[in-house]
Amino acid sequence: MSSQSRDTGAFRLPDRDIPSVIATAHALAEAARRETLRHFRAEGLETRDKSLLGAGRFDPVTEADRAAEAAMRAILAERRPADGILGEEAEDVPGTSGLTWVLDPIDGTRGFITGTPTWGVLIALCDAVGPLYGIIDQPYIGERFEGGLGRARLTGPRGGRGLGARPAAALDAATLFSTFPEVGSAAERAGFEAVRDAVKLTRYGMDCYAYALIAAGQVDLVIEAGLHPYDICAPIAVIEAAGGIVTDWQGGPAHGGGRVLAASGPAVHAEALEILRQVPQ
């Protein structure tokens, strides 16, 4: 980033605007923490199955999801009314600034409703090229991972520290995460399983927290399919700020969702990508 602006090729964010953007993002995270925590592990949590509206596996949404996103949208309407909003639980808001906030109020709602602590809140600021800045926040654990606009930092119960992906392992020494063992379509599952069979260790069920662990230097790979932009924009910003790589399964941009490969470094990314590129489009 230059001393005057951050030039993405599509939008110029002046340096003077960066403190406002970062402060707004943290205000969104604090608001979402309040709303999600007051519902977490509470009796009588209202839950609806979105999959009943169409084909697919059980896809819950709770009153906590809706309340957290509404709280974040209210802050943006007050602080940054010219920016657009793309969220999971409400209609898109077109903006005039060239910037869009991409919000997932609870990434990992299945974990949330079963009381596990690895769900999170995802907040990203994007331009037409992709994410500029992102936060992965875990309200119950109290950890917040942020990346972009010159920042790559974790704050939590043990204080704060910089983020950094670990030196990339060879594929046969790598640790791989995915939310579900049954990744995507039959062809996508076969591609994932080919990588799974090549790595040292595979774990499941971490939702957005797995991406945070790449940025924190704990794991090497996350592979998923069928994602939406609000699932991946914040993780892209955080991982890339920490020195990692996030692409689709062909090596292209991943901020539009779909098939995603996140890696701690170029060597392990290249090995996994060579396998995943064989999956039919």
Among candidates 106, 165, 136, which has minimal Cα distance to 235? 136
Q: How far apart are CA 234 and CA 213, in angstroms?
A: 13
Q: How far apart are CA 236 and CA 222, in angstroms?
A: 12
Q: Are 41 and 62 in contact (CB under 8 A)?
A: no
Q: How far apart are CA 221 and CA 176, in angstroms?
A: 5
Q: Give Cα separations from 1 to 4, 20, 135, 235 (angstroms).
A: 8, 17, 19, 20
| pLDDT (tens digit per residue) in 3-41 | 234 444 456 688 899 999 999 999 999 999 999 999 999
| pLDDT (tens digit per residue) in 188-209 | 999 999 999 999 999 999 999 9
Q: How far apart are CA 5 and CA 159, in angstroms?
A: 30
Is the pLDDT assigned to residue 55 strictly greater than 50? no
- Higher pLDDT: 246 or 128? It is 246
CATH of domain 171-276: 3.40.190.80
Q: Are 248 and 223 in contact (CB under 8 A)?
A: no
| pLDDT (tens digit per residue) in 67-119 | 999 999 999 999 999 999 999 899 999 999 999 999 999 999 999 999 999 89
- Higher pLDDT: 236 or 58? It is 236
| pLDDT (tens digit per residue) in 146-171 | 999 999 999 999 999 999 999 878 99
pLDDT at position 18, please? 95
Q: How far apart are CA 41 and CA 93, in angstroms?
A: 31
Written as one letter, the residue type at 17 is D
Over residues 170-182, mean pLDDT: 94
Measured in degrees and rounded to the nearest 5, phi and psi for residue 31 equal -65, -45
Regarding the domain delimited by 5-162, which CATH topology (the fold level of the hierarchy) does it fall under?
Fructose-1,6-Bisphosphatase; Chain A, domain 1 (3.30.540)
| pLDDT (tens digit per residue) in 223-275 | 999 999 999 999 999 999 999 999 999 999 999 999 999 999 999 999 999 99
Residue 86: is it exposed, middle or buried by C-beta count within 10 angstroms (0-12/13-18/19+)?
buried
Q: Give Cα separations from 176 to 10, 132, 164, 180, 197 (angstroms).
A: 34, 26, 17, 12, 10
108: left (phi over 0), alpha (psi -120 to 50) or beta: left
The segment(s) of the chain belonging to CATH 3.40.190.80 are 171-276
pLDDT at position 50, please? 62
- Higher pLDDT: 161 or 54? It is 161
pLDDT at position 57, please? 65
Q: How far is residue 114 CA from its own chain's centroid? A: 21
Contacts of 242 (CB under 8 A, 6+ apart): 147, 152, 163, 164, 165, 214, 215, 216, 217
Is the pLDDT assigned to residue 186 strictly greater than 50? yes
**Tokens standing for 158?**
């043990």
What does the radius of gyration of the chain's CA atoms come to, in whole angstroms?
18
Burial 162-179 (b: 16+ CB within 10 A, else e): ebbbbebbebeebbbbbb
pLDDT at position 168, please? 74
Is the pLDDT assigned to residue 177 strictly greater than 60? yes
Place of tokens 């704060």: 160
The segment(s) of the chain belonging to CATH 3.30.540.10 are 5-162
Q: Are 128 and 10 in contact (CB under 8 A)?
A: yes
